[in-house]
Amino acid sequence: MSGNRNRIVIAGTGSGAGKTTVTIGLMAALKRRGLQVQGFKCGPDYIDPTYHTAVTGRASRNLDTWMLSHDIMREIFLRASEGADVSVIEGVMGLYDGKDPLSNTGSTAEISALLESPVILVVNAQSMARSAAAVVLGYQKLDESIRIAGVIVNKCGSRGHYQLVKSAIEQECGIPVVGWMGRDDRLSIPERHLGLVPAIERGELDGLFDRVGDLVEGGVDIESVLSLAGTAPSLAWPKERLFSGGPRPNPGPTIAVARDAAFNFYYRENLELLEQYGARLVYFSPLAGDTVPGDADGVYLGGGFPEEFAAGLAANERVKRDLQARVQEGLPVFAECGGYMYLTRSITDRAGETHAMVGLIPADVAMQDKLAALGYREATALRDCLLMEAGEAIRGHEFHYSKLTADQEDYPYVYQTKGLRGTGFEGYLSDNVMAGYTHLHFASNPKVAERFIQRCLHYSRKRGEASGTA
């Protein structure tokens, strides 16, 4: 079985080359043509997919070859792109940057090769003319199996500057330059970590999206981009799939998922795997004052921006007391990053104000200006927990500006984590609470979804027996 999918990878020569701006503008231009556009982001980032989703109206997905196997990554692409006229895949960092500086592992190049997708390389041509051809030629020569099919040049000083760069690249590299963009400070993307999702949801970035769409339509040959996307060959589905599409176990548990401006970072496959194994997902907003739904057999508190809404979260005393009571009754709760922070005693925000949180975890969190942690993590369970058995491993990503301080020497860590900079201990574990900074990708170890389902079902049965309704 194969899948015909028109697709293009938008890669950069490095971070800051302009690939996010090009990607968003291209998506907007394609959408204006009445096309169904599916967005993807290479790597673990949650932020860029929120832009894609807002522009296209289709939920963007992450494609990752370090957290996930090659087959699962390809399945995610084929599932999500079904019904789309064209898929636009935004790269990460520079085209060849990934986990290993000596190979393509985890890079945009590896993903483009596995998906047999043509690549458009975005080049910052500021202060360059013929030298831009040397840059492109270097990217072609580093790995000739990667199909760089076209170029978009960014930050040109004028149309005349663009023509100089275009003629040099096309002569020396033998590939088309399909468009350009000038320098426009109005197109700068807002600060990534401050309230991005609520700004998008309120429509505050619609003007930015329109301007970027206009710029791309004015400088890029959209028909040439579509033509290149159409040259991508048919892809074969993996022989074994993560998502079978079969019937759910019945009855399954009800899992309440926090979803609002403070909690919104979820890999969609995590939620879909829970549904695959039989869960019924319901959503609630701690920020809006929602308590955990009464029929919930488990809770999933994702990451997000609790520090930006700490005052509002702290003021909802009823929500905090309800969650405390439900946990004391045995309700299984899994929390990551922002959800982990919410379960501690307090968050001190960037202004130095301290806000009382739920208080289920004996620790306090303080925001800091510098990055506290960034990178891939392989997390190995130190003991049996909600999602894992002792010694079992799962992969994920850690990214936060906060520092957690526990007040006990024997703090019950849940994982030993391994990353590029060595190993460490991370997270928190009690009988029915599991929390940590690492954003886990369930598709790297699908057993975790099934195990969480079983723990929720166990709680549901016990609650039913206690109430006499089992």
The contacts of residue 55 (CB under 8 Å, 6+ apart) are 24, 27, 28, 31, 37, 39, 209
Strands, E assignment, 373-458:
373-381, 393-400, 402-406, 415-419, 422-426, 428-429, 433-436, 439-440
What's the full length of the chain, in residues?
A: 470
What is the signed CA dihedral for 445, 446, 448, 450, rounded to 10 degrees? -160
Catalytic (active site) residue 337: yes
Cα 457 to its chain centre, rounded Å, is 29
| 3-class DSSP state of 303 | strand
| Dihedral sign from CA coordinates of 347, 351, 353, 355 | negative
How many distinct helices (H) and strands (E) make up the chain?
14, 26
Cβ–Cβ < 8 Å for 379, 438:
yes
Tokens of 230: 């159409």
Tokens of 167: 């003629």
Tokens of 12: 């950069």
What is the signed CA dihedral for 264, 285, 440, 95, rounded to 10 degrees? 0
Annotated catalytic residue, options 156, 337, 385, 456? 337
Cβ-count burial of 77 within 10 angstroms (0-12 exposed, 13-18 middle, 19+ buried)? buried
Q: Which residues are catalytic?
A: 337
